[in-house]
Structure 1
Amino acid sequence: MRRRMSRTPLTVLAASTAALLTLGACSSATATEDRGAAPPDAAAGTEAASGTAEFWTPEPGTDWQWQLIGTVDTSVDVPVYDIDGFDNSAAVVSGLHEQGRKVICYISVGSFEDWRPDAGDFPEEVLGAPLDEWEGEQWLDIRALDVLEPLMAARFDMCAEKGFDAIEPDNMDAYINDSGFPLTKDDQLAYNRMIADLAHERGLSVGLKNGVDQVTELVDLFDFAVNEECAYYNECHKVAPFIEAGKAVFHVEYELTTDEFCPVTQPLNFSSMLKNWDLDAWRETC
């Protein structure tokens, strides 16, 4: 789930994005424009442009739905769903597949969550500072690869066994947060590379979640990106290498209106939508 970063937001209409504003405009959208349409074919328009990807690689502009709380609303007419891996059963995944959707498994890889069924498997020594505004969560010491690798492998096994197509690994930027550990960017890169390997070993695609300052080093290892608020922070250009590589950028904003962020992200061919902070079923697209 979205982590509020301890950094100062930049002006969305800064000079570095001003040129983009003339290239596109947000089309009218409502919270219910997706309802009642025929199921899409997820196999169409979601393979990498090169056609050489070993793993499912959604192409730029692929529409999506992201819902992490509540009963999954399966009526949204999009080819990709991103839902909580623990809270949803194999039957939910199978039902989405029957409608032609690809399904991404949301899993936190950088934080301990005290309500998860495997919480007792995490040793105290890898638990760090609490995550601001997220009760029951603590940062993990990502340097402890030997401890965390089997724990994350078990989580990814669960996703694979439920039939998910991909992983959305959350909290991949502990090193820029107050984690309670002296983490470096190199620590984070090593951990995130391990995460990509664990997913691919199980035949699952994997996305880079946020981590905009790691894109250059990791774009070749990840099959898509999931980004929150790049327009709000004026950093969408940092995620654009995924688009250049023929890989989707699944993007959301929370604080801006579609009129404010769509002219920035549409020219970049991001898969953008406005969501509530709690990531329920509501969405508004460009």
Structure 2
Amino acid sequence: MSRSAGTWWRPTPGLQWQYQLTTPVKLDVDVPVYDIDAFENDAEVVAALHAAGRRVIAYVDVGAAEEYRPDYADFPPEVLGKKVRGWSDERWLDIRRLDVLGPIMARRFDMCRDKGFDAVEPDMVEAYTHRTGFPLTAEDQLTYNRFIADLAHERGLAVGLKNDLAQIPDLVDHFDFAVNEQCVEYEEWTALLPFVEGRQGGVPRRVRAAGPPVLPRHRAARLQLHPQERRPRRPALGRRLTSTCLAGHRYCSRPWPTSPSKPPGRSTTPSRTTTRSSSRTRSRAERWTARC
């Protein structure tokens, strides 16, 4: 389904974001958009955020099976591949098996719709670049990602493309916004420009956040960042939103350099799953919070 055919909510440029996968969700952050875990938060949390005038995005893993999710038993052994590097409680999925995965993901997105979420952020959607235990191809990934986008749109949900930079030209018309990890650190904004070109001037924006500086001055100067800007951990870019990068607890928008100094450096390399913490004792949300 083309994104232009639907009436679901679409982010607009310049929005600020709160990204929190831990619970309980901090409800008093003064930003218009929240991105929270779909399973760990009930409809009351979403309703409370809506009552405060927030839009709410649901984080959902669609490319790997997490052992701690309540529907893990729905995945038959034949679709479970190798463990995700650095995440011993996750197994890659055989995304070619839409006959098996389709109903499971449909139920997950039904849950998001029923809880009142406005959008979904499907994670682990570049499996073909990893050693999953399955002979996945780029075409397999395109088919699956388009299928996931259609599932969301059929339920009136906006959908974001997570990483998968190399396939943006083939997927930009199917997704409403994009989320890219460590966008500024690896100077990957050029690959994400299709999500903002021709919209509000087509200039992506960068994050400025409060807090102590964690970015070396020479690195800040190279990226034309203020040295007090925190190094982003989980950046996000929006089609009608803006390209922004998460630092600490909130997203703030300021103009990017209009002529990036180099093209994206990792568009053909494995995704950020290879750079995640290898801790075996904490959940995904706890580890991400520790990294932020």
Query: If the TM-score is normalised by the length of the shorter chain, which range does it land in?
Result: 0.7 to 0.9
| Alignment partner of 1:274 out of 247, 251, 275 | 247
Q: Distance in 1 between matches of 2:111 and 2:80?
A: 22
The C-alpha deviation readout for 1:181-203, integer Å capped at 9, x for no partner, is 11111100000000000000101
- Structure 1 outlier segments of 4+, above 6 Å: 247-253
Aligned-residue sequence identity (percent) comes to 51
Paired position in structure 1 for 2:73:
120
* CA contact 2:128–2:138 (8 Å) conserved in 1: yes
* CA contact 1:67–1:280 (8 Å) conserved in 2: yes
Paired position in structure 2 for 1:4:
none
1:69, distance to aligned residue in structure 2 (A): 1.3
Give the letter for the 1:199 counterpart: A
Q: Secondary structure at the match of 1:156?
A: helix
Q: Distance in 2 between matches of 1:138 and 1:162?
A: 26
Q: Distance in 2 between matches of 1:156 and 1:250?
A: 30
Going from structure 1 to structure 2, the CA distance change for 1:251 and 1:96 (only over 3 Å counts) comes to: farther
Q: Distance in 1 between matches of 2:27 and 2:291?
A: 12
* CA contact 1:143–1:191 (8 Å) conserved in 2: yes
Q: Distance in 2 between matches of 1:281 and 1:95?
A: 26
* CA contact 2:56–2:118 (8 Å) conserved in 1: yes
Paired position in structure 2 for 1:34:
none
Paired position in structure 1 for 2:215:
257
Going from structure 1 to structure 2, the CA distance change for 1:236 and 1:198 (only over 3 Å counts) comes to: same
* CA contact 1:70–1:280 (8 Å) conserved in 2: no
Give the letter for the 1:131 counterpart: V
Structure with larger RCO (C-alpha < 8 A, sep 6+) = 1
Aligned positions of 1:1-286 closer than 5 A: 54-244=7-197, 246=199, 257=215, 260=220, 263=225, 269-275=242-248, 278-280=287-289
1:135, distance to aligned residue in structure 2 (A): 2.2
Going from structure 1 to structure 2, the CA distance change for 1:169 and 1:246 (only over 3 Å counts) comes to: farther
Q: Secondary structure at the match of 1:66?
A: strand
* CA contact 1:104–1:167 (8 Å) conserved in 2: yes
Paired position in structure 2 for 1:23:
none
Structure 1: runs of 5+ lacking an equivalent: 1-50
TM-score, L = length of structure 1:
0.73
Q: Secondary structure at the match of 1:241?
A: helix
1:59, distance to aligned residue in structure 2 (A): 1.9
1:245, distance to aligned residue in structure 2 (A): 5.5
The C-alpha deviation readout for 1:2-30, integer Å capped at 9, x for no partner, is xxxxxxxxxxxxxxxxxxxxxxxxxxxxx
Give the letter for the 1:224 counterpart: F
Q: Distance in 1 between matches of 2:117 and 2:191?
A: 28
Q: Secondary structure at the match of 2:167?
A: helix
Q: Distance in 2 between matches of 1:154 and 1:97?
A: 23
1:133, distance to aligned residue in structure 2 (A): 1.0
* CA contact 1:93–1:163 (8 Å) conserved in 2: yes
Going from structure 1 to structure 2, the CA distance change for 1:250 and 1:74 (only over 3 Å counts) comes to: farther
Q: Secondary structure at the match of 1:149?
A: helix
Q: Distance in 2 between matches of 1:239 and 1:201?
A: 25
Give the letter for the 1:280 counterpart: T
Count of matched residue pairs = 230
